[in-house]
Each structure stands twice: as structure tokens, then as C-alpha cells.
Structure 1
């Protein structure tokens, strides 16, 4: 019984540790796209055409 209890305590502790790390680093985990324009050369050879 004590082995199961200690495994559960370790599991819950690890889960809470992961939640704490996510809370601390939440700003860096968010997706924030870049606002700079892409170079037209990157997509010029793909066959894309500008829509009117």
C-alpha cells in the first residue's frame, strides 16, 4: 500500500511541477507570429498569383 501511495505522490508532484513550469514560462510558450513582411523571393517560384 505504501508503494502505491508513494508512486501516486511522485506522479502528482511531477504533474504539479509541469504545471508550475508552464505557468512560469507561459509568455515564451505562446505563439506570437512575426509582424515583419516576408521577402517576395521566398514565394516567387511557387506559382502563386496575386488576387485582385
Structure 2
């Protein structure tokens, strides 16, 4: 929802009936898992400025 639809964390939290902090932490962890997976596959990732 965040990266595909461009929703803000608070919008996702309302939609999923979850605290904003839980959504934020989940997104952060998922992004790091994706980065780790891509790195193991040899893909480089640069954080956008």
C-alpha cells in the first residue's frame, strides 16, 4: 500500500486497524528484508535522496 499505492503510514494504519507505529515498523523491517534478499541475489540498492 505504501509503495504501490503511495499511501501514507497513517492511511495504512486506519485501513488495517493497526497502530501507526506498528505499520511503520513493519514497513521498515520488510524493506530491510527485501534489501537483504536483493543483495544476496547480487542486486545493488541505493537509497533515493
The structure with the largest alpha-carbon Rg is 1
Q: What TM-score, normalized by structure 1, do the two folds share?
A: 0.46
Q: What TM-score, normalized by structure 2, do the two folds share?
A: 0.48
Q: Which has the higher contact order (CA 8 A, sep 6+)?
A: 2
